[in-house]
Amino acid sequence: MRVQNSKFKIQKLGALFVALAIIFSVQSCKKHKVELKPQEIEAAKAVGGTIERKVLFTGNIVAKDAVNVFPRGNGRVAKKLLKEGDPVKKGQGILLIDRDDIGYTFKPLMVDSPIDGYVGSILVDVGSFVYDRTVFSEKPVAVVVRPGTMRVKLDIPERYLGVVLPGTEVTMKVDSLDGDGYKGTIITSSPVVDEKTRTANVEIEVPNTDGRLRHGMFGRMNLVVERHDDVLIVPVNAISWEGEKQFVYKVTDGKVYRTQVKIGMRNDVHVEILEGVAENDVIAVGDLIDLKDGEPVAIKTGSSS
Q: Could you read off the pLDDT of 279-297 as tens digits, one per residue?
A: 999 999 998 888 999 999 9
Same domain, 224 and 155: yes
Q: Give the pLDDT confidence score for residue 202 in this predicted structure.
A: 93
Q: Give the pLDDT confidence score for residue 3 in this predicted structure.
A: 47
239 within a domain of the structure (yes/no): yes
Same domain, 205 and 247: no
Residue 233 CA to residue 242 CA, distance in Å, equals: 20
158 within a domain of the structure (yes/no): yes
Same domain, 241 and 272: yes
- pTM flag (> 0.85): no
Q: Give the pLDDT confidence score for residue 87 in this predicted structure.
A: 92
Same domain, 87 and 140: yes
How many domains does one find in the chain?
3
Task: Please identify, among 185, 213, 228, the residue that sits at the C-terminal boundary of a domain.
Answer: 228
Same domain, 221 and 233: no
76 within a domain of the structure (yes/no): yes
Question: Residue 47's domain is classified under what CATH number?
Answer: 2.40.420.20
Q: Which carries the bigger pLDDT value, residue 35 or residue 255?
A: 255
> Of 25-29, 44-48, 287-291, which range is least confident?
25-29
Question: Residue 218's domain is classified under what CATH number?
Answer: 2.40.30.170
Q: Give the pLDDT confidence score for residue 132 in this predicted structure.
A: 87
Same domain, 140 and 101: yes
Q: Which domain holds residue 105?
A: 67-145
Band (262; pLDDT cuts 50, 70, 90): very high
Q: Could you read off the pLDDT of 134-187 as tens digits, one per residue?
A: 766 688 999 999 878 999 999 999 988 888 889 988 989 998 898 788 999 999
Band (17; pLDDT cuts 50, 70, 90): low
Average pLDDT over residues 74-99: 93
Task: Please identify, among 228, 252, 273, the residue that sits at the C-terminal boundary of a domain.
Answer: 228
* Average per-residue pLDDT for the chain: 86
Task: Please identify, among 196, 228, 260, the residue that sits at the C-terminal boundary of a domain.
Answer: 228
**Percentage with pLDDT > 90 across the chain:** 56
> Of 38-42, 159-163, 298-302, which range is least confident?
298-302
Same domain, 154 and 219: yes
Same domain, 222 and 238: no
Same domain, 252 and 272: yes
Same domain, 222 and 153: yes
Question: Residue 82's domain is classified under what CATH number?
Answer: 2.40.50.100
46 within a domain of the structure (yes/no): yes
Same domain, 163 and 222: yes
